[in-house]
């Protein structure tokens, strides 16, 4: 029997050595808000909730243009009809379980950009990239466009590794990380590694399965399920009249696999930014009103013999009618110049019917008020997203309760304890 080792007295030198071996990742109070330095020094990816505001700000920071993330509150066909079109993709958050691998393609088909999730908690960014990189008409921004081209010939696994090493994406993803998120992620990674060492052959318990984002996207005439935890994409069949309605039963089937107490799902849609279309509609409206006003003015001048500046028609329209570019409504002169007039307006521009053209001008003025109201609502929604994201990034949300702070510190102590026992700690 081996001799029992003698206990060592704790001395200042012992304590200093112990403190030296503890990784100084978060030198401040672990319950304090995470700083930019904390996030930059951390090597992992944080979990992100299915909050549309966060996804919208992430896409904007990535450089992707004219895309908006909206929550899908129901898969009922009547409710899905209210989604702005086109719908570029759907993101489904659920408690992940492995499906039949035979449903997957033997290899990633040519023309499909698909990345595996090879880094813990990166599924939000992976799902977003698996959608936007498959929509040819989207403007991705300089960084994502270069990344897409660079990884075009990669396998899904290599693309996943590339995402994990892409500091541009990781920095934006982790801009929402709170210190608690980082500590929990590190502890979970440590526990996962420990569990694998203890029992490699033991099947994972479904109760321990984490929540996971997957993507559904129409590409090259077919609908695809792109799950980063699966090796290859799954082909769901040719696109029907409305691919969103086609995917709905697939998602409903997954939901039905869980018990009533496990109803924890979220569905997000990536759609064309409604504000873009609204501004284009306003540009057409302004150009139409100005063109008809000019035509009416010319007709009145021809009939009265007056000059344009003294003709009665010079004051047609509402007092607060928008007749040119306006920064408040994000309307530029270029957008007005490029707007295409409707056949009805074109017809009135060739007509001598003052009464009919005046009626059309009044209808356009009434419509403009509604368009401008919708634009104001969309701008407010975007600002609300920015405020929500800024609050999270600056960690100005509701501070932790005493009980949560205790849990926080216990988690922090567990992380330190695990690292102190690690053979890779500094001597």
The catalytic position among 123, 173, 301, 348 is 123
10 Å Cβ neighbour count for 398? 7
Q: List the structure tokens of 337.
A: 């110049």
Q: Return the residue matching tokens 């996030």.
A: 39
Is-catalytic flag, 46?
A: no
| Cα–Cα distance measured from residue 63 to residue 68, given in angstroms and rounded to the nearest whole number | 13
User: By 3-state DSSP, what share of the chain in percent is helix, strand and coil, each rounded to 5?
Assistant: 55, 10, 35
Identify whether 108 is a catalytic site residue.
no
Measure the CA–CA gap between 215 and 91, rounded to whole angstroms: 5
Q: Which of 46, 108, 173, 212 is the catalytic position?
A: 212
DSSP state for residue 240 in the 8-state scheme: -
For residue 267, what are the β-bridge partners? 92
d(CA 168, CA 88) in angstroms, rounded, equals 23
- CA 27, 30, 33: angle at the middle one, nearest 5? 100
Interior angle at CA 125, CA 228 and CA 66, nearest 5: 120
Torsion, Cα 242 258 131 173, to 10 degrees, reads 150
Using CA atoms, how far apart are residues 280 and 288, in angstroms rounded to an integer? 12
User: What is the rounded CA–CA span in Å between residue 173 and residue 148?
Assistant: 18
Active-site positions read 123, 212
């Amino acid at each position: 029997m081996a001799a029992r080792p003698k206990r060592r007295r704790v001395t200042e030198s012992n304590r200093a050595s112990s403190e030296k071996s503890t990784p100084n990742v978060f030198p401040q109070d672990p319950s304090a808000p995470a700083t930019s330095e904390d996030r930059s020094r951390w090597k992992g990816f944080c979990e992100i909730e299915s909050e549309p505001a966060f996804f919208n700000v992430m896409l904007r920071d990535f450089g992707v243009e004219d895309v908006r993330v909206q929550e899908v509150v129901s898969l009922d066909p009547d409710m899905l009809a209210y989604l702005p079109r086109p719908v570029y993709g759907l993101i489904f958050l659920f408690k992940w379980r492995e499906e039949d691998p035979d449903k997957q393609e033997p290899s990633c088909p040519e023309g499909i950009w698909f990345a595996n999730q090879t880094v813990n908690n990166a599924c939000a960014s992976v799902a977003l990239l698996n959608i936007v990189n498959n929509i040819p008409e989207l403007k991705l921004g300089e960084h994502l466009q270069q990344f897409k081209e660079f990884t075009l010939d990669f396998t899904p696994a290599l693309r996943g590794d590339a995402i994990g090493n892409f500091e541009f994406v990781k920095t934006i993803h982790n801009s929402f990380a709170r210190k608690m998120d980082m500590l929990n992620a590190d502890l979970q990674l440590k526990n996962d590694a420990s569990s694998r060492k203890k029992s490699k052959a033991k099947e994972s318990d479904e109760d321990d399965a984490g929540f996971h984002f997957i993507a559904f996207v129409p590409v090259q005439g077919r609908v695809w399920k792109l799950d980063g935890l699966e090796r290859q994409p799954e082909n769901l069949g040719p696109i029907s009249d409305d691919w969103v309605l086609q995917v709905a039963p697939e998602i409903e089937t997954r939901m039905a696999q869980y018990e009533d107490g496990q109803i924890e799902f979220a569905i997000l849609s990536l759609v064309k930014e409604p504000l873009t279309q609204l501004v284009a509609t306003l540009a057409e409206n302004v150009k139409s009103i100005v063109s008809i006003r000019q035509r009416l003015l010319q007709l009145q001048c021809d009939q009265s013999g007056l000059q344009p500046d003294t003709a009665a028609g010079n004051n047609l329209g509402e007092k607060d009618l928008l007749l040119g570019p306006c920064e408040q409504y994000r309307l530029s002169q270029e957008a007005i110049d490029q707007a295409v007039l409707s056949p009805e307006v074109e017809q009135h521009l060739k007509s001598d019917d003052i009464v009919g053209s005046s009626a059309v001008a009044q209808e356009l003025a009434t419509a403009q008020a509604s368009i401008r109201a919708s634009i104001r609502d969309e701008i407010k929604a975007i600002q609300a997203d920015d405020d929500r994201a800024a609050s999270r990034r600056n960690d100005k949300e509701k501070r932790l309760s005493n009980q949560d702070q205790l849990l926080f510190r216990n988690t922090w102590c567990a992380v330190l304890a695990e690292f102190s026992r690690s053979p890779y700690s500094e001597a």
